[in-house]
Amino acid sequence: MIISGEIKNIDEWYIKAGPKNRKTQWAVNHSALEFAKLVLDISFENDIKQNILDKISANQKIILAIPEQISKLDDYIGGQRNHDLALFTRNESEKIAVCFEAKVNEDLGVKLSRQWEEGYKKNSNIHNRIKTIIDCLWQNSRIENYNELKYQLLTGLFGTIKFAEKLEIKKCVFCIYQIQIDEKTKVTKTEKEIQKLVDCFNVNDKVENNKLFGPFKTISNIEFYISYLKREKIED
């Protein structure tokens, strides 16, 4: 697997693709560092093939991995989404885009209802952005149906779709990648929030490790999936 910027070790990742706030985010037991170590591990590529790609399309090859990929959500100010990692994969007949949101104990942020309130501020484009996201995912104008969802999960999923659109790819996966540090890691809390998202697609299934939900279709006929992977940190 080739990582953009020819990154081959953790020091190169820090220099070429480290988080914006390196002092606080690039630390032991924080997702930026722990996820980078997992991606660089020799087992990562086969893990993704087995638990995501092979469930969608056989013999996919990961062509490129891009840390800190930015997806443009819309043309409004502030309309972008940073992905911890994005993958471009293909076989002889089709391509797949995969974007990752890595978590240890970091919070998933505010609910959609709270973000909607922010949209009442002067010159805000949040209402238009939220309407676009909901219409894309559910072809539905009833924003209140999704008030309890975490806004960060919605923009992560929508950003994944926009990344696929940019590359003219018809299939994509948004993967929430939970890194378990110890028994105190907030795994259950994260899983509950993912469950709320999955439930909105009328899926009668429980969120568990290695689960892949979908396919679902956007208004523009892009096929998308939601993946949940839980992995233990790599000890130094």
Residues 6+ apart with CB under 8 A from 131: 141, 143
Beta strands in the chain, from DSSP E residues, in sequence order: 61-72, 80-90, 95-103, 171-180, 211-217, 223-232
For the cut 90, the answer to whether the pLDDT of residue 207 exceeds it is: yes
Q: Is residue 127 part of a domain?
A: no
Determine contact, residues 90/61, Cβ cutoff 8 Å: yes
For the cut 80, the answer to whether the pLDDT of residue 97 exceeds it is: yes
Phi first, then psi, for residue 60 (nearest 5°) are -75, 140
Q: Is residue 75 part of a domain?
A: yes
Q: Is residue 179 part of a domain?
A: yes
* DSSP code at position 84: E
> Which one, of 192, 174, 189, 175, lies nearest residue 231 by Cα?
175
Determine contact, residues 115/121, Cβ cutoff 8 Å: no
Q: What is the pLDDT of residues 114-126, one digit of tens each?
A: 999 999 998 899 9
Q: Is residue 83 part of a domain?
A: yes
* Alpha carbon 31 to its chain's center: 13
Q: What is the pLDDT of residues 101-113, one digit of tens each?
A: 999 999 999 999 9
Distance, CA of 97 to CA of 108 (rounded, Å) = 22
Beta bridge partners of 85: 67, 100
Determine contact, residues 163/100, Cβ cutoff 8 Å: no
**pLDDT at position 20, please?**
80
Range of the structural domain that residue 53 is part of: 10-109+154-232
Q: Is residue 193 part of a domain?
A: yes
Confidence of residue 76 (pLDDT cuts 50, 70, 90): confident
Q: Is residue 222 part of a domain?
A: yes
> Two tokens at 32?
């930026």
**pLDDT at position 79, please?**
84
Give the chain's domain count: 1
* Residue that is written with structure tokens 């997702």 in the block: 31
* Alpha carbon 225 to its chain's center: 11
Confidence of residue 21 (pLDDT cuts 50, 70, 90): confident
Q: What is the pLDDT of residues 117-150, one digit of tens each?
A: 999 998 899 999 999 999 999 998 799 999 999 9
Q: Is residue 188 part of a domain?
A: yes
- For residue 60, the SS3 value is coil
Q: What is the pTM of this model?
A: 0.96
Determine contact, residues 204/195, Cβ cutoff 8 Å: no
**pLDDT at position 49, please?**
98
Distance, CA of 154 to CA of 174 (rounded, Å) = 10
For the cut 90, the answer to whether the pLDDT of residue 77 exceeds it is: no
Percent of the chain with pLDDT over 90: 87
Distance, CA of 25 to CA of 2 (rounded, Å) = 24
95-103/80-90 β-pairing: antiparallel
Q: Is residue 122 part of a domain?
A: no
